[in-house]
Chains A and B, each alone.
Chain A
Amino acid sequence: MLSFLYARQSGLDDPVRLRRAESTRRVLSLELNHNRDVDRIHGNGINTLDIEVIDGRYMLSGGSDGVIVIYDLENNSKKPQYTCKAICTVGRSSRHVHKFSVETVQWYPHDTGMFVSSSFDKTMKVWDTETLKPAEEFQFDGNVYCHHMSPVARKHSLVAVGTKDPKVQLCDLKSGSRIHILQGHRGEILSVRWSPRYDHILATASTDSRVHIWDVRRASGSLFTLDQHNGDKSKTSSEAVNTAHNGRVNGLCFTADGLHLLTTGTDDRMRLWNSATGENTLVNYGKVVNESRKGLKFTVSRGCSPEFVFVPCGSSVAVYGLHSGELITMLRGHYNNVDCCEFHPDYQELYSGGKDCNILAWVPVLRQPDIEDEETNSKRVKHCLYLYRSAGLD
């Protein structure tokens, strides 16, 4: 560590290198911390978490009881022991609350004045954070499994919605209308994700085992489908040709730079794809247990080298190296299935929520000072204070 600091100071190394090394060290030492807690508001399982991008201060959570809660993650109490308080809730008593379970919540990518939630009551609501009332409500024909707004879009404000219907719908927030339908899937859409690199690239995953990549500016069909065998038709039975997984594809996540896409499927596999060509990079993560009937929400770290994938596996969160495929560790702490996890890039913390109604915060372990160092330090401090006081420099 000292060598890194010296190298940065003298200009031998790029400043990014120290930052990346320290971020990686922090992610590798993630642990449950008894000083950090999150308020327990939900009465039923937690389906989705989202941390806002601008400050990284507020977190949204959506539960199976239809309740939406906003938490303040910042510690202003000057004490190490801190509980992330729930600032406001859209509870069961509110007139506008969702009738059934909330499947996805997402902050508006450009400020925290607005957030969007979608639920099994076949609606998607756009909420005003100040008044906690929906500014807009979109009705659909089937259960809404997921929705996503592009984090980089400046020219459009489209929300991609995946429902029970095989057609992916694009809703426009500016005009409030449903302007675009993407046809191509043959089963329910379990997950949709915009690319964090280009504002027109969208990936969708469905129960028909296929993942389509779309360019929303084009009127014709998808750009390409992800094929797990990379076009080698000989490797598999003829029904499974051109599929991304041998089962339902229920999780999608782009890496932070948008160059790679991760998919998980009910065939207990996770695959890493090159998002520009659709090629399967054939990184073998082994068996990634996946029994989720709806979408699985997992996340990738940001700012580390090598990057890590955090996947909920049963009642723990598995941490894999992104490009090496090896299992680094399993974060155990939940009492029941984990449904979602979210990475806080500024503090390298992981928040995970599950069916046990708890949101757990995994915090990097701080370096403990050595006992001898503490003693000599305190002696030194006392000595300095004595010297100051005696010299009249209080």
Chain B
Amino acid sequence: MRCFWNMTRISELIPVQNSFSHTSTLATMAPQETPFQIAIPAEQIALLRKKLELTVLPDELEDAGREYGASLSDIRRLVTRWKDGYDWRKHEAQLNTELPQFTTDIEIDGFGTLNVHYVHKRSDVVDAIPLLFVHGWPGSFLEVRHILPLLTESSPKHPSFHVVAFSLPGYGFSEAPKKKGFELTQYAELGNKLMTALGYNEYVTQDGCWGHLVSEYYHPNNRCKLRGEHSNAWHTNAPMAPPPHPISRPLLFLNHLIFGYTPKEKAGFERSLWFRNKGNGYYHEQSTQPQTLGYGLTDSPVGLLAWIYEKLVNWTDDYPWDDDEVLTWISIYWFSRAGPAASVRIYFEVNKAYPNLLEGATSKTTIPMGYSYFPKEIVKLPKRWLRAPNLVFESDHTSGGHFAAHEKPKELVDDLRKMFGKGGPAFGVVHGRSGYDPQSRL
């Protein structure tokens, strides 16, 4: 089954680092945080408007609905709004107010220094759990917006988190790599270096993709053990695993033959099949000819809008997108530091580096792992395919899709609180940072 690229469990692939003392950099702010405010130059806004004014729209077949792609009436309405009415400066100011942003230089082996943009918000709880939030495509650092206040808020009733949400290289306001070959290993290196630069020697991660499958299969076992020194646990809302197979997963295969699937599981299969048969065209183009695609995404606002909007609608669970919400999301891509074409190269690099990523990969991660299941995630597999010895937390939901942090912030955060809070299976997984104030640690 082909998979999509959203974002990986980047911290899974953190290469071997020098050992740090666990007690070293606990309480203080990390050195050298350079604050950042989004401030798109007026010329860029003016150029966008000029292009929008010249927009030429295609026709559409009668009764096409969403069957052939993003619907014409939606796109027409969004373009009109983007051109007249949508106020980027207002949203830019809101983002700057809500999301404390910074930039920092990170050196990546073989790729030189990249200037990385990130959101960083500390909880008032000194011993809050450091959490690295990793967005995917077509997402961005914006996806942390709804969960940020919930994660950092302090209460004796649940753990708190210090949150870092970085813009992957090539996204948001991070620089993009200039050389070929920047793949999962490099993203992992970057995530880890950022966290340690911020004084978070140990942390947990949250993301929405199939990082599971990019684990030990491609990295020697010793890395997994050593990785426990930095990333201590991870949580995802997009779990993946290979299917039952008589040779590689024999017990599961037997189970698959003998026991049927529940209606909910069957619905999940249908969703996965829909994605496979109708939903992953973007993946094939992005992983084979990203530059070709990039010209249209860079030159045409409506082209970029449609390419992303189709996923915002199809991958969510009837989320009632507000037009300005969509346009802010797309504008981040349009105004991104590296341009939208840079954001799709990751698919090519990963496909090239790991051509058989999904075939035969079995989870060999050992750090505690947690899954949140949302029904409209784009690949929905039966839970018994996903079970693993280190799967310590599972949570089922009756609504929600791929962009869980955006669609279901409260539910996602509740899951994280349960997994990492007192009595939870990953409580205390980060040494000295339980997520609670000392007096509530009873």
| Real binding pair | no
Q: Which residues of A contact B (CB under 8 A)?
A: none
